[in-house]
Amino acid sequence: MLFVALLLSAALAGNGNNVKGKLLLVPYPQIVEANFLNPTSISATSKITYTLSDNCKGNTECVEFVKNNFNHSITFPLQRQMNLDDFRLSLFAPIDLINLTPDIQNSVQTISIELTAEDFFPELTIGVDESYTLDITTESISIKAPTVFGLRNSFETLVQLFRPYNGKYVITQVPISIKDFPRFKWRGLMVDCARNPFTLSTYYKIINAMAMFKSNMLHLHLTDGQTFLFESTEYPLLSQKGSYTQKKVLTQKFLKELIAYAKTRGIIVYPEIDLPAHAASWGIGYPDIVADCWDYIKTWTYNENLPALNPVTDETFKVLDALFGKELPSVFTSEYIHIGGDEMNEVAWSRSKEVSAINAWMTEKGIKTYLDLEGYFNKYVQTQVINANKKGVAWEEVYAKGNADLSTVIQVWSNITYLKMAVDDGYKAIWSEGLYLDVQAPACPDSERVEKGCKVSHMYVWTNRDFYNSDPTIDFSPEELENVLGAEAASWHESVDDQNVMERIFQRYGAISERLWSPSYYTDADSLEVRADYLRCVGLRRNILKGSGPLYHSYCQLPENL
């Protein structure tokens, strides 16, 4: 049975025939017009440059932004790919890429760039204009974008169109006209910093890779039961004691630098400190603020994730005031702060050594149940976030248990029915259910489990299709869609560290990026596997996706110094 499943997977994977009438682009643009399957081409070299519209020329920040991103996305990639073989799917013509011998009409060495909005360099926020148009003729390449963030996206599209050929680059199937904009405002990735902490350089690698896929939200899960990686200057023992090494603590200085760098790639970075559960690491530096249920944990497999904050001591709430009311708002420029709120189990309180004191405290406060106590914590930190002029984000439990302020964005992760319920109740929401990158394949390691009902869709390459087909909003009304900001892929890292993070996240991230950027009606999993493999090759040559494996067999020659 397992052998049959693997044969089916191999037989149905994408090949060159699937990309006839398409450009090799991920995520696929909203509107594409091209001279498909025609060899009419232009050529260029890695010395290609650009001209700027006058409004940008007169703005130093704009000039530097464009220069930085043009070098990052166009100049350096073309320099690295010069004289390499083109990407191939197969040695066999029937399933290889379409072989167009370029009919070069002209050599283009300058790209015309025009920023069209009055506010062409706005603040980077959810909903900022990220659109662009890209027109390529036999005479010219021109880009128009309302803002610098749309312009940056156009560069990521353009670099995919350049193909190495006889010591130069060609763009075939000219003329090409692309009009592009994102389907969703929020196209994110949640990274679990706390389980297996990264070296600091890894965060920059993740941002560069996200930018390739036109993602715009990086959610840092800064704390969990295992470690506390956010540097609090008011409560320094949280990270000094709550981490394996200070080298991997995310200091406020580092985070500010990371946030500034991410902005140049069109990405907003926002923090999560999870509570009231997942708080064991808090108690290493400040033991009184976490309820001691370790005697119970000894007999249970949930271990570090179970302990919760102790409400009895005033110090607990002083820590929350410092984190959510002062430090996170001052470090993160994003308008969003994630308050966590998932997987609270009342035994963290009811089986703790402080249970009598907790019960007495609850009676004094008029809190009747442990469920109400959970809500007390949820509401307390939301108030701190609101008072700091920020907006909260919370896991679905905060909404499901009736504890979410209407200004809080609901992140649906396990029960997708909450997405429709939340938006119908007037909440803004995002979904992660169905987009869990830590769920690795094959999920069926032996034939016995296959016979018991594991699906072909759970085999290795097909998890990519599971992500691609995850679109719970497809039947939503226009009014409901107004409240769906978008989605986040979730990369939990119990089995991920620096050595495999690029593989775990970005081998299949193209499917998610396309679902969040491209039109809702554009569903072409067969061609996606080809296009995503091609983009992975481009990313490897740019030294961005190093460590990420192919979706399927292909040939990608790399620079010798990579």
Active site residues: 343
Phi then psi dihedrals of residue 489, to 5 deg: -70, 145
Asked if 220 and 262 count as a contact pair (C-beta separation under 8 A), the reply is no
Measured CA distances, 296 to 348, 353, 381 (Å):
9, 10, 28
Please say whether the beta carbons of 320 and 201 come within 8 A. Answer: no
Decide: 388 and 397 in contact? Cβ < 8 Å: no
Q: For every residue of 469-483, which 3-state class applies, written as one string?
A: CCCCCCCCCHHHHHH
Distance in angstroms between the alpha carbons of the first and the last residue of the chain: 40
Sheet holding 176-180, edge to edge: 31-34, 176-180, 132-136, 141-145, 110-115, 49-52
Closest by Cα among 123, 182, 64 to 334: 123
Closest CA to 487 of 142, 182, 133, 60: 182
- 41-64 core/surface letters (b: 16 or more CB in 10 A; e: else): bbbbebebebebeeebeebeebee
- 45: tokens are 């070299």
Residue 69 to residues 66, 163, 209, 513, Cα–Cα distance (Å)? 5, 20, 14, 20
Q: Looking up tokens 């292909």, which residue turns up?
A: 554
Which parts of 235-390 are beta strand (E)?
A: 268-275, 336-340
Spatial separation of the C-alpha atoms in residues 271 and 413, rounded to whole Å: 17
